[in-house]
Each structure stands twice: as structure tokens, then as C-alpha cells.
Structure 1
Amino acid sequence: MTTDVAPEISTAPAELSYGRTVDRSLVHRAAVSEVFVTDIRPLAEKRVRTAVQLPLTHGYYSDHAQRPAVYDPLLLLESGRQAAMAGSHAHIGLSRGTTMIVDTFRIQLGDLKGLLVGDEPGRLVIDTEYVGRPTRRGRYRKGTVVQRYTLDGTDIGEHEMDVLFLNQHENEVLRHAQRGTPAPLTSEFCDRVGESGFDGEPGAVGRGNPLNVVLSRPVTGAGTVTAEVTPRFDNRALFDHVYDHLPAMTLVEAARQLALLSTGEPAATYATGFEARFSRFAELDDVVTAEAPRIGPGEGRRALPVRFLQDGAEIASVTVTVTSGSAL
């Protein structure tokens, strides 16, 4: 994708503030408690710098069996999504009603030691560049978001995603074109609010609270491991508002949990990277199955491909990078 060279801002950006979070509408969140962005500053025409305060404790992002505790890569992924959305509204010119549909993304994090949770909330800085060209009418319909993460002054990783920018009408047209019928909403599925359907201890997928388990009916064979994706819709970290599909973050969490299950050592293995592609929406009214090769225990870093199937077709794939805790 081509892009024009963006002129630099003539003066250096002011120091980032960590005093309070931004308006929740900027990051498309219903709950203020789920907003992590605290400041946004322009660096150039298509570049922004964002401050994010990483919480020390969170019911979803801190619920992990691994010790010592590190910042959850999905928390960093969510922080990148929020930074991209906030910057696009505040400085790139996207309207508040725009939906960002992720096509592909890649996040790779460095040394586990750089992700260790300290005594105070982490101060994350995300530099975001928007790559793409507007239409003749000045609208951005698709593009690439490139981000660099710095935590407490140390570079910890990079994130890149290809996205579509759709208004509400365009999103509804796309959903109807794929389904042919109106999509149901998470609010209509009362049976998905309650006890977890996982057949085993949450620790088998690296979790402590059953609320955060998104898999059920796992089957471990000689060379593969499979499970159904069945998140609880009352998990407000994953379902902060009503959806008409399983969001990308839920599938990434499912991939992480299946990867940890595959290793057989969930308490001694960390997820440190994801590379994902989403080809269709994960519908709510049909079973979504995740499958991956069984890799067993191991040292160092390894990549585990996870496929998501619905109605016999692959709808998404997420490759999970897992790292042995011996690196700490």
C-alpha cells in the first residue's frame, strides 16, 4: 500500500499525561473501567503518540496461572486497538460512528523480563502510524496501522494490523451479504451467561477464574487438540457491549488457551506473540471449533498454528508464539 510522506509537527509534542483516561467513546468502550488510554498527541499528519496506563490487577488481564506475572499480551493488543481508534478519531479525522474491522494483525513481544509486572502501574507509550490513502471524498476505507510499544522506557515489541473502516450502514450491508439473514445479538443468548462449559480445571488453559475460560469440550488426541469456542457473554472484558458475532479478541483468547492446553504445561508457558487472519465473522448461532497440533512441553520459543472452523469452513487462523517460563 502506498502513502504520502507525512510532514512532521513543527514543535515537539507535549509530555504525555497519565492522570486520567480519555473519553470512552474514543476507544469504543461502554465501561470507563475498560479504558486504558490516558493521552493522545500528534507527531505528524498520520502519526500519533499515545499514553496507556497498564493496570496492576484486572479481572481478565491479570487472571493467569503463570508466575512470575507479566503483562498480558492481549492487554497490550487491546491497548494498541484503543490507541489506534483514539488516534484515528482525535487526529486522523475518522467520525465517531466508524467501525474498525480487523483483517489481519501481527504482534510480537520481546524478552519476557521486559514484560514483568512491577510495583506500580506500567506506563506504556504507543507510537502509531496510519498507512493508506483517503478516497476522493477524503474518507479512509482501508489501511494499515503500524505501532511500536515502549514500556517504562524500554522497547518491548511491535504491532501491525490491516483494517477496514466502515460506517454503520456499510457494516450492516457487509453482515447481511455474508449471512443472507439478520445476525442475532449476544444479548439474545441467555444460555451463554452462567457457568463455564469447560470440562476440566481452568488451570488447564492457564486461567484461575472459570468466567475467563472460552473453550469447552476439549479433545486431546495423539497429534491434535480441538475444542469448541464458547465464551461467557457476561465476561465484560471480552463483551463490553452487545455484539452480533464473536469479536476477534475472543478468538485470539481461544487460540491462546488452546495453545497452552496443547503444551500440557500451561503454568510454565507464556504467550508472547500472535499472527492472525480473519476471513469471515464468527457467527453466534453456529458452533465454532478450534483445532491445533499437539506440541507438548518444550523450551525456548515455538509457533503453534490454530485454525477456527464454522460450518465446515475455516473462518480465521491465529498462530500463537509460546515461550517457556525458563526464560525468566
Structure 2
Amino acid sequence: MTTQTAPEIPPVPAELSYGRTVERSLVHRAAVSEVFVTDIRSLAARRARAAAQLPLLHGYYSDHLQRPAVYDALLLLESGRQAAIAGAHAHIGLAAGTTMIVDSFRLDLYALKDLLIGPEPGRLSIDTEYIGNATRRGRYRKGKVVQHYRLDGAGVGRHEMDVLFINEHENEVLRHAQRGTPAPLTSDFDIHAPVTDGSGQVEPARVGRANPLNVVLSGAGTDGGQVVAEVTPRLDNRALFDHVYDHLPAMTLVEAARQLALLAAGDPSAVYAVGFEAAFQRFAELDGTVRAVAPRLRPGGVRGEVPVNFVQAGTEIAKVTVTVAFGSEL
């Protein structure tokens, strides 16, 4: 990934509100506490602007050892996902019950200094453009979403993703085509244990965390010039598992990639994730071991990329390249 200059974005209209969150169903979340979008307004045909308030303290997004503290890249990513879904429902006619499946995405954050956490919750605005063609019946089945972020008035990043819009029946057909059998649900597992049989959870500090609940890797080790681990998230981490799933959601794999990248860098207290480029080939099944592999990052103190490959049952199911930056940027 390359660092881009911030584009010019019109100022946030006065009517954009940060006073309360939108209805949780509009962003496909079960818990109000996991909703960050506070407003969504139409700008033009297939363009919308959303407001999101970034919390100063959150059990998952604030649990980082790096100092000075900055807003988590995954918090901005989740805010963008919520803004895209809310805008699709409110302004391009996405029907209730439709699922947005991400095929690939890319997030670039420009400068660490613009992400520093201040004394007040961050006021994020997200401009979203929907690119794609509707069917004769006016339904969108796939397309691209392009977003530009401003945090407290400063341009901080760009996000784009290729997505599929499918209903419940289509999702069942897709899942059956991949598995051949019904998929188990997260509700079938012990919520206090990892979803696979991995042992030896990674110590939180090794992946820049304080709370063991937020560690999603176990059995970490080295294999030549590579760092390897199993993806074993806890189902009682409600930031990652806000409702019942029949697979490991994409955000869980991105978190696993971030944690493995910090392991590969060797000094998680001084390394920040500032970008992701991801492609998902298959669903990460709950009833099989997911293994993550990344090369060691050569020390240098400058931005670098760590490609993380995810393998299940001998097949690559996803690849997430993590861009890491060092505190020297602040």
C-alpha cells in the first residue's frame, strides 16, 4: 500500500448531528453500545454523508498498549462499514434483511498524528459513494463503496470495498454450495472458549493488548522466517461477535492479521496498524482450524507491509496485508 494525500471533501453540513446513534438495525448491530453512526444524509444520487462519534473508552477498540494512544484503525473501519450499510438502506433502497458481504477492501490512513485521541470523543464524518448498476427491478446485487474520512475536520483516510448484497435465502444457498452441509452457529459453542481447539493463547502484551478477551491468536511460533498462529477468538467478545454467525466474520480475520503483524514486527508497544488490504476467497468455518502465516518484518522504524495469509483445510481462504507505522511518525 502507498500513503495517499488527503482529498478535498466539502465541510460537514450544519444539520449533521452527533447527538445520538442511529437505530441499531440500520447498521446491522444487536447492541446499541456497538453503534457509532449518529446521522446519515444524502448528498446526491448514490452519495451520502454520515457522522460517527468515536468513543474515548471502549473495551475492545481502546484496549491497546501503544502510547501515545490513537484511534484504532479497526474502529474507523467498523465506522465505515456501518456508514455504508446505513446509507445503503436509507438512500439506495437496500431492503431489510439484506446482508452485505465484503469480497475485498482497502483502508489507508494518512498520518498517525491526525488520529491522536484528545479530551473529547472524536467527531468523524464519512462521505460514501456507491458505484454499481441496479437490476431491472432496481435491486443492487454487487458494487463498490468508496469512502473518505474526516476526523475533527482533518482528512485522515480513504476506504473502498467490493461488496455483494444478498438476502437470507441467497446466503443459505451460497453457504451450502461451499460446505455441502449446514454450517454450525456460534450459538452452538461455549461462548467462554475459543471456537477451535487451539491451545496456548498468546499473551496479550505480545499483540499489544491488555485484556485476554481481545486476543484472537493461540499457538504462535516461528517457522523459518515466518510467524504462524491459529485464529482462536473468544465468542464472548461482543465487539467481534455482536450476534449469531455461521462463520468467523471478516473483522475477526482482520484483527487476527493485525495481531500477527505486531508479532512479526517484534515490538507491539511501538507499532501501530494504519492500513489494511484484504481479499476473502471463502468463509472461515467455525468447525475447522484457521491458520495464519506472515513473514517477519525487518526492523527499520518506517512504514512497512506485512502480508498475512489465512489457510483452512489446506486452502487459502483470505489474505490481509497490514500496513504498520511506528511511533516516530508522531
For Structure 1 versus Structure 2, the TM-score category normalised by the shorter chain is: over 0.9
1:165 matched to 2:146: no
Distance 2:113 2:250 in 1: 27
Spell out, residue by residue over 1:285-318, the C-alpha distance to the aligned partner (whole angstroms, 9 max, x if none).
0000000001143311001100000000000000
Q: Which residue identity lines up with residue 125 of structure 1 in the other structure? A: S
What's the % identity of the aligned pairs? 73
C-alpha deviation, 1:102, in angstroms: 0.2
Which runs of 5 or more structure 2 residues have no equivalent in the other structure?
A: 1-11
CA 1:68–1:45: 2 relative to 1, 3 Å: same
* Contact 1:18 1:39 survives alignment (8 Å): yes
| TM-score when normalising by structure 2 | 0.94
1:245 matched to 2:250: no
SS in 2 for 1:284: coil
Structure 1 residues 53-92: aligned runs within 5 Å: 53-92=53-92
Spell out, residue by residue over 1:216-236, the C-alpha distance to the aligned partner (whole angstroms, 9 max, x if none).
000123400000000000000
Distance 1:23 1:219 in 2: 43
C-alpha deviation, 1:13, in angstroms: 5.5
Distance 2:194 2:164 in 1: 34
C-alpha deviation, 1:200, in angstroms: 4.2
SS in 2 for 1:190: coil
Q: Which residue identity lines up with residue 163 of structure 2 in the other structure? A: V
Q: Which moved more, 1:177-186 or 1:187-196?
A: 187-196
C-alpha deviation, 1:189, in angstroms: 1.2
Spell out, residue by residue over 1:148-188, the C-alpha distance to the aligned partner (whole angstroms, 9 max, x if none).
00000000000000000000000010000000000000111
2:4 maps to what in 1? Answer: none
SS in 1 for 2:21: coil
CA 1:310–1:194: 2 relative to 1, 3 Å: closer
C-alpha deviation, 1:327, in angstroms: 1.2
SS in 2 for 1:79: helix
Distance 1:14 1:25 in 2: 25
Distance 2:100 2:194 in 1: 30
2:309 maps to what in 1? Answer: 307
* Contact 1:187 1:242 survives alignment (8 Å): yes
| TM-score when normalising by structure 1 | 0.94
Distance 1:205 1:249 in 2: 16
Distance 1:95 1:13 in 2: 27
1:255 maps to what in 2? Answer: 257
Query: Structure 1 segments of 4 or more deviating over 6 A?
Result: none
2:284 maps to what in 1? Answer: 282
Distance 2:194 2:262 in 1: 24
2:187 maps to what in 1? Answer: 187
Distance 1:151 1:16 in 2: 14
CA 1:198–1:205: 2 relative to 1, 3 Å: farther
Which runs of 5 or more structure 1 residues have no equivalent in the other structure?
A: 1-11
